[in-house]
Amino acid sequence: MTKKRVLSCIQPTGEIHIGNYFGAVKNWVDIQDQYDCVYGVVDLHAMTMPYDARNLQENTTQMFIDLLACGIDPSRSVLFVQSLVPQHTELTWIFSCVTSYGELSRMTQFKDKVDQLDESGGKKNFVSAGLFTYPVLQAADILIYKASFVPVGKDQEQHLELSRNIAVRFNNQFGDYFPEPAPLYTDVPKLMSLADPTKKMSKSLGEKHYISLFEPEDSIRKKVKTAVTDVGGQPGGEMSPGVVNLFTIIRACGNIPAWEELNRQYAKGTLRYSDLKNIAADSLVDTLRPFREKRTEMNSDRSKVNRLMHESSAVARRYAAKVLDDVKERTGLVK
């Protein structure tokens, strides 16, 4: 039986933090045998908000390395760089002709990003057509591989729905061709900010709110040690968000025996938060160490990485070229 195809992408907008890893990337790694997986680093999407051209190439390469360091395996999955597969942009044009101005105007992420640009003001207050058509490029990312499933978070549901509408509209107009991609939901842990555990962990909150996946050990320990908890409630009472978050970290790292024991102590009212923090920090340090080592190793041989990046993108390109060829035939373009 042939495996169903899964596709997902990440923007190269800086380092992955443990919230991104446990909430998304770990799942990409875990499903590599179960599905025919295609993953991408989407550098073209990163151009839709103000950015520094001097850093983009480096950020893209580093993101490619970081995904490999956490376990994306190029012998089992395809990992491409979006700008190395120009068929995505060609298909975007064709798709933009079956997408309405109205549906793009209703995209909540577009509206949120426009607000963000308005707030930053000054010369950054420029809303590009690229930001507006961002979801069409995303639909092309998905459909050019005829993906059946897309692992996405809540924030991307609307974009995925648009991708389905584009597929349906294309099929109606040009004959059945694209499958309708469905979301792939998995039960993933949601990590909260360490400094304000009522908010989702995010880089935009600031340094002390998140832990980068490749953070040095002493810094990991320091951030966990100073994580917000509470003054200690009644035995067996409801856990405060900060305490829940530390338990979530321990469980996400797979340290189940410790997680069970600490839960028992919590129920009895004997849990010391210093112990909880030490175990959370140890679990994280142990889990992340191999990633950091692999990253350092790959960073020491960039020419090898470059070769791999081009080879893996070439695999994607061959597939994408075939689909684009079919699309051109159907849409009446000269070949």
Per CB under 6 A, residues contacting ligand TRP are 7-9, 11, 42, 45, 138, 141-142, 150, 152, 156, 159
The β-bridge partners of 40 are 9, 80
Alpha helices by DSSP H, listed for the chain, are 18-20, 26-30, 53-69, 87-96, 101-105, 108-120, 129-143, 157-174, 217-225, 241-252, 256-268, 273-299, 302-331
- Provide the minimum distance between the beta carbon of 44 and ligand TRP in the complex, in angstroms, as a whole number: 9
**Dist. CA 293–CA 8, nearest whole Å:** 25
Q: Which residue is nearest to ligand TRP (CB)?
A: 9
- Provide the minimum distance between the beta carbon of 267 and ligand TRP in the complex, in angstroms, as a whole number: 38
**Dist. CA 308–CA 304, nearest whole Å:** 6
Expressed in percent and rounded to 5, the helix, strand and coil fractions of the chain are 60, 5, 35
Helical (H) or strand (E) element with 287: helix 273-299
- Provide the minimum distance between the beta carbon of 141 and ligand TRP in the complex, in angstroms, as a whole number: 4
The CB density around residue 335, as the number of other CB atoms within 10 Å, is 5
Q: Which of 3, 111, 124, 203 is catalytic?
A: 203
Residue 304 annotated in active site: no
Kindly tell me the sign of the dihedral angle through the C-alpha atoms of 92, 93, 95, 101.
Answer: positive
Please report where in the chains the tokens 């059946």 appear, as a residue. Answer: 148
Q: Closer to ligand TRP by CB, 149 or 266: give it.
A: 149
Helical (H) or strand (E) element with 305: helix 302-331
Q: Which of 3, 4, 26, 113 is catalytic?
A: 113
- Provide the minimum distance between the beta carbon of 109 and ligand TRP in the complex, in angstroms, as a whole number: 8
Q: Closer to ligand TRP by CB, 140 or 309: give it.
A: 140
- Provide the minimum distance between the beta carbon of 11 and ligand TRP in the complex, in angstroms, as a whole number: 5
Q: Closer to ligand TRP by CB, 9 or 224: give it.
A: 9
Three-class DSSP category at 123: helix
Q: Closer to ligand TRP by CB, 158 or 265: give it.
A: 158
E-only strand ranges, the chain:
5-10, 36-41, 78-81, 149-150, 182-183
Q: Closer to ligand TRP by CB, 150 or 252: give it.
A: 150
CB 133 within 8 A of CB 104: yes
Residue 146 annotated in active site: no
Please choose, from the candidates 178, 191, 187, 125, the residue with its C-alpha nearest in 3D space to the C-alpha of residue 151: 187
- Provide the minimum distance between the beta carbon of 135 and ligand TRP in the complex, in angstroms, as a whole number: 8
Q: Which of 4, 146, 200, 208 is catalytic?
A: 200
Q: Closer to ligand TRP by CB, 6 or 69: give it.
A: 6
**Dist. CA 246–CA 277, nearest whole Å:** 7
Residue 200 annotated in active site: yes
φ and ψ at 41, to 5 degrees?
-100, 110
Residues taking part in catalysis: 113, 200, 203
